[in-house]
Chain A
Amino acid sequence: MEWETVIGLEIHAQLSTASKIFSGAATAYGAAPNTQACAVDIALPGVLPVMNKGAVERAVKFGLAIGARVNPESVFARKNYFYPDLPKGYQISQFELPIVEKGEIIIQVGDVEKVVGITRAHLEEDAGKSLHEDFHGKTGVDLNRASTPLLEIVSEPDMRGSDEAVAYAKTIHSLVQYLEICDGNMQEGSFRCDANVSVRPRGAEKFGTRCEIKNLNSFRFLERAIEYEVVRQIDILESGGSITQETRLYDSDKDETRAMRSKEEAFDYRYFPDPDLLPMKLSAEMIAEIKKTLPELPDAKRARYMQQFGLSRYDAGVLTATKAMAAYFEDVMKGMQSVGAANAKTAANWVMGDLAGVLKRDGLEITHSPVAADKLAGLVLRIADNTISNKIGKDVFEAMWAGEGDADAIIEKKGLKQITDSGAIEAIVDEVLAANPKSIEEFRAGKERALNALVGQVMKGSKGKANPQQVTDLLKKKLAE
């Protein structure tokens, strides 16, 4: 039987507020345990939660960016359960009336675009951390993370494979950074996914029984976990078994998922509206004000790149995939204002090709590139004005990467300036022709390839500094004599 995978994701994006969602304590990552937990976070008696307006604004931004309904009234609810890293014995979340409902986002898988529905996004607080190591059989509790603001983004079960799930997660990841509502740092847990996975016979209307895989904190783990889970479920079904609805954990060391708790063991969270926080009202004016602060979003940016720079849909898509890359590219273009958009494709190739390549090789983020955007613009300019060839450009780029200075200085110092003086080139051409009578013969016998060999010789003779087009033209002219 042919099976179809059905995936819905729940993404927890930590909102980038300086203080917590219900208290004034700092949210900075990596502080010594329990140094960023105030009376409210520790849940001492008598203290009360106070809504962080910054978290609300960020949630509204997200809602507006995905074309969702931003509810004029939403309600905070208590999700009750006991755990040592949950100080109040309940988590303040949103249940029946979330702040954001019914949005959508376009994802791209290969050349195919797909719309994924977003059921809801709601505000909630994070829990602390239980530390099971280094306490001699006891458990330590660090409440620094307690009450950190989260936006939980719940998708519709619209994805049909791990590739779509990853594309969706990456798109959301990019969007929240575009919006500057989340730093997107997955290592620090600022962006994590739970995946609801089920399979059904292709063509079936009813969804299969789903399993929820918790806490996937990298795109790779998301992909691996889904792939493992799909195979596991198909194996069970094909051998006549049935899927038990349960929560599973992905073990990245073993590359497998394993059961955490079944539906029967699921908690009764006893949700009810939090009487300490009145229903949250958002005025149309406030939402309109926030709308004004929205940055250019990836789709709009891509369209602009195509229009303004004449880039292909693909190139524009790659360049706008992350806010950081788009910002870098735009800085390069700014540095090349003197030559206008004509060389945008060259600049794009450099950013997507050579730069992206070495960044990946050296494990660097584009924001930490040793070659700043204005410096790369300096290099592209020299290629655009034929001072150097694209090939020499690569050497110059490596030198820039190694910190040897900007493009002009390196070209000057290493004498890499392209030879455009036709007299100088002619001398080399004559030398090469004299030394290669066989190639001349072959060319005249109709072997076009022989010309390439001669061009190569001349370029070699010029140490790569001759303009290849000029060399080709001159050779053709001489050979025709």
Chain B
Amino acid sequence: MINDSLKQLSAALAAKKISSRELTQSFLDRIAQLNPTFNAFITVDAEKSLAQADAADRRIAQGTAGPLTGIPIAQKDIFCAKTWRTTCGSKMLANFIAPYDAQVIEHFNAAGAVNLGKTNMDEFAMGSSNETSFFGAVKNPWDARAVPGGSSGGSAAAVAARLCAAATGTDTGGSIRQPAALTGITGIKPTYGVVSRYGMIAFASSLDQGGPMAKSAEDCALLLNTMAGFDVRDSTSLDRPVEDYTRDLAQPLAGLKIGLPKEYFAAGLAPDVAQAVQAAIAEYQKLGAQTVEISLPNTQLSIPVYYVLAPAEASSNLSRYDGVRYGYRAPEYHDLSDMYKKTRAQGFGAEVKRRILIGTYVLSAGYYDAYYLKAQKLRRLIAQDFTAAFKQCDVIMGPTSPTTAFNLGEKSDDPVSMYLSDIYTIAVNLAGLPGMSIPVGFGANGRPVGLQIVGNYFAEAKMLNVAHQYQLATDWHARMPTLP
């Protein structure tokens, strides 16, 4: 059951082979057993989850169930959910309970899905290893010595260890795709504006985008059907016709043109990752796809551009955590300025502080033009690289991450090396394009390798089709770690 697809689970629920309560309970039991090892969840509340399961069972009995009714889904702890605390992985919000649901949560609730709990993440989604969480690092289910990637590491680990049927993530510079790759699952970051950011705690507003993380592309398509949708409460949300992201899953891939950016297969890419990715591309050729070498010449600029723009926005987005109205406040202080300083010094972790400092610096008088404005210009150039590339191909493929999962602590003291692990994913956020990662094998150390698929704007259905056809032909996505 734990390895079943969403479609299979839904069918089992509809056929009354299992109730949502039983299904939810079985995942809760698994969480109780395995979460102490992997630390994938920050908050689990069996009572609340089971109450939702019971409601779903009633709906199933009434015959008004949808495809996700009764399915237990883990929510990244960045999505505000009424009555659940939402910590964003930070001491600052360790006891914060929002009086509203994120639009994503509203949609899942309306679909009758069960909130199975809130998953661990890098603090305020800042990190690529899940080691910056105030609630402790998450361990990779494939190898507990390894990181699961970040920032949606808790969701990735929860899906990989089959602690939930599926999960949600958010992706600012690769935070869905990189952990998906490092834990051998499938995840998609939609086109910027497809999933509402309302109630999703902001890191870098112009880059943040929510998306599904699941065992397969087909599951992701079903989840995206529920997550996507215009929202008047988010001015960057796109008012587009509702799409069925499963509609093209069955399309054959004959004639598909795959662009392979030469910059993504250059120095810095681990040989074992390159090998698995090449094998996946060979599989695509077998499925009838053609490949064409393309160039994304500004790839090397994406990390410096990102580490100007994202911290700039973050430094401002995180100003609201000042200890005045909610969240953590330092217990002792002697005046207002001291309260701000102590609250923020104690409430934020090192990586968050580093990015607030960088962001404050690049926005300062005298530096704004040289850093922020320059980065905005380069951001447009990076986007133009993709526009040009999509004249030659339907999708772009390459490695999601240059290496398989690294060990816990391996890069903690070297932020630049940590930042470089997002080299292939960041440009996609800067361009606002959709990107996904699917498992395509294992590296020399037995840790998963992910293939990144980048589509043109609003090409999610196409990308999911491309991923699904591969998953029909291979079984990497169905493999799961051997767990106690």
Chain A interface (Cβ < 8 Å from any Cβ of B): 39, 42-51, 78, 80, 82, 84, 87-90, 139, 141, 268, 270-272, 275-278
* Contacts A39-B99, A48-B197, A89-B320 given; does A272 touch B368 at CB 8 Å: yes
Any A CB within 8 A of the CB of B363: yes
* Binary CB contact string for chain B from 189 to 231 against chain A (1 if under 8 A, 0 otherwise): 0000000011111101110000000000000000000000000
Q: Is the CB of A46 within 8 A of B80?
A: yes
Task: Please determine whether A276 and B205 come into contact, CB atoms closer than 8 angstroms.
Answer: yes
The answer to whether A44 touches B98 (Cβ under 8 A) is yes
| Contacting residues, chain A, for B131 (C-beta < 8 A) | none
Which chain B residues lie closer than 8 Å to A47 at the CB level?
Answer: 100, 198-199, 233
Q: A278 to B235, Cβ gap below 8 A? A: yes
CA distance A84 to B200 in the complex (A): 24
Residue B180, interface by CB 8 Å = no
* Given A46-B201, A272-B372: A80 touches B316 (CB 8 Å cut-off): yes
Q: Are B205 and A88 in contact (CB under 8 A)?
A: no
A84 contacts B336, C-beta separation under 8 Å = yes
Does B325 lie at the interface of the complex (its beta carbon under 8 Å from any beta carbon of A)? yes
Per-residue CB proximity of B344-380 to A under 8 Å, as 1/0? Answer: 0000000000000000100111001000100000000
B window 87-113: CB within 8 A of A:
88, 93, 96, 98-100, 102
Categorize the interface residue count of chain B.
35 or more
Nearest-neighbor residue (CB-CB) of B79 within chain A: A46
Give the distance to chain B from A186, nearest Cβ to Cβ, in Å: 29
Q: How far apart are the CA atoms of A275 and B429 in the complex, in Å?
A: 14
In the complex, what's the smallest C-beta–C-beta distance from B168 to chain A, in angstroms?
14
Q: How far is the CA of A275 from the CA of B315 in the complex (A)?
A: 13
A139 to B322, CA, bound (A): 15
Q: Are B233 and A48 in contact (CB under 8 A)?
A: yes
Contact check, A45 vs B236: say whether CB atoms are below 8 A apart. Answer: no
Whether B324 pairs with A78 at a CB distance below 8 angstroms is: no
Contact of A46 with B102 in the complex, beta carbons under 8 Å: yes
B314 to chain A, nearest CB (A): 11
Q: Which residues of B contact A84 (CB under 8 A)?
A: 322, 324, 336
The answer to whether the Cβ of B410 comes within 8 Å of any Cβ in the partner chain is no
Give bound CA distance, A43 to B320, whole Å.
7
Q: Which of A44, A82, A272, A277 contacts B326 (CB 8 A)?
A: A44
Main SS of the interface on chain A?
A: loop
Using A46-B102, A78-B316, A89-B322 as known contacts, list a sample of 5 further A-B pairs with CB atoms less than 8 Å apart, ordered by residue number in A.
A45-B202, A48-B198, A89-B316, A89-B319, A270-B364
Q: Say whether B388 faces chain A, with CB atoms less than 8 Å apart.
A: no
Q: B96, B315, B322 — which one has the most chain A CB atoms within 10 A of its CB?
A: B322
Chain A contacts of B140 at CB under 8 A?
Answer: none
Chain A residue contacts of B336, Cβ below 8 A: 84, 139
Q: A42 and B233: CB pair below 8 A?
A: no
A90–B315 Cα distance when bound, in Å, is 11
Q: Which residues of A contact B114 (CB under 8 A)?
A: none
> Which residues from chain A contact B234 at a C-beta distance below 8 Å?
48, 50
The contact of B96 among A45, A88, A139, A275, by CB within 8 Å, is: A45
Measured CB to CB, the closest approach of chain A to B22, in angstroms, equals 33
- Give B450 Cβ to nearest chain A Cβ, in Å: 28
In the bound complex, do residue A51 and residue B235 qualify as a contact, i.e. CB atoms below 8 Å apart? yes
A residues near B313, Cβ cutoff 8 Å: 275
- Residue B307 at the chain A interface, CB threshold 8 Å: no
Inter-chain contact A46/B199, CB cutoff 8 Å:
yes
Inter-chain contact A87/B320, CB cutoff 8 Å: yes
Closest approach, in angstroms, between the C-beta of B83 and any C-beta of chain A? 15
B315: chain A residues at CB < 8 Å are 80, 270
Query: A278 touches which one: B236, B312, B316, B340 (CB < 8 A)?
Result: B236
B232 sits at the interface (CB 8 A): yes
Knowing A39-B99, A78-B316 are in contact, say whether A45-B197 is a contact too (CB < 8 A): no
Interface pair A90/B319, CB less than 8 Å apart: yes
Residues of B within 8 A of A80 (CB): 315-316, 319, 363
Which of B78, B202, B232, B319 has the most C-beta atoms of chain A within 10 angstroms of its own C-beta? B319
Of the candidates B233, B319, B365, the one whose C-beta lies within 8 Å of that of A50 is: B233
B232 touches A82 (CB 8 A): no
Beyond A78-B316, A268-B365, is A46–B200 a contact (Cβ under 8 Å)?
A: yes
Instruction: Indicate whether B10 reaches chain A with its CB closer than 8 angstroms.
Output: no
Q: Assuming the A-B contacts A42-B325, A272-B363, are A88 and B319 also in contact, with contact meaning beta carbons closer than 8 angstroms in the complex?
A: yes
**Which partner residue on chain A sits nearest B101 by CB separation?**
A46
Question: What chain B residues lie within 8 Å of A82 (beta carbons)?
Answer: 319, 322, 340
Contacts of B236 in A (CB 8 A): 275-276, 278
B52 at the interface (CB under 8 A from A): no
B86 within 8 A of A: yes
Please, which residues of chain A bring their CB within 8 A of the CB of B206? 275
CA distance A46 to B201 in the complex (A): 4
Q: Is the CB of A88 within 8 A of B320?
A: yes
In the complex, chain A residues whose CB is within 8 Å of the CB of B204: 275
Q: Which residue of A lies closest to B366 (CB)?
A: A268
Residues of B contacting A49 in the complex (Cβ-Cβ under 8 angstroms): 235
* Cβ–Cβ contact B205 & A275, under 8 A: yes
Set of chain B residues within 8 Å of A45, measured between Cβ atoms: 80, 86, 88, 93, 96, 98, 201-202, 320
Report the bound CA distance from A132 to B88 in whole Å.
33
Query: Which residues of chain B are near A44, meaning CB under 8 Å?
Result: 98-100, 326
Given A48-B235, A84-B336, A278-B235, verify A270-B316 contact (CB < 8 Å).
yes
How distant is A444 from chain B, measured CB to nearest CB, in Å? 90
When C-beta atoms are compared, the residue in chain B nearest to A277 turns out to be B235
B365 contact set on A, CB distance < 8 A? 268, 270
Q: How far is the CA of A90 from the CA of B202 in the complex (A)?
A: 14
The reply to whether A39 and B232 contact each other, CB–CB distance below 8 Å, is no
- Residues on B with C-beta less than 8 A from A277 are 235
**Bitwise interface map of B from 308 to 335 toward A, beta carbon under 8 Å scored 1, else 0:** 0000110110111010111000000000
What chain B residues lie within 8 Å of A141 (beta carbons)? 324-325
- Nearest opposing residue in chain A for B336, CB measure: A84
Q: Which residue in B100, B312, B319, B325 is a CB contact (below 8 Å) of A272?
A: B312
Q: Are A50 and B316 in contact (CB under 8 A)?
A: no
- B residues less than 8 Å from A90 (CB atoms): 316, 319
Complexed CA–CA distance, A87 and B322 (Å): 9
Chain A residues near B199 (CB-CB < 8 A): 46-47
A25 to chain B minimum Cβ distance, whole angstroms, is: 14
- Selected A-B contacts with CB under 8 Å, 5 pairs: A46-B80, A80-B363, A141-B324, A270-B316, A272-B316
| CB-CB contacts below 8 Å: B222-259 with A | 232-236
Alpha-carbon distance A177/B198, docked complex (angstroms): 36
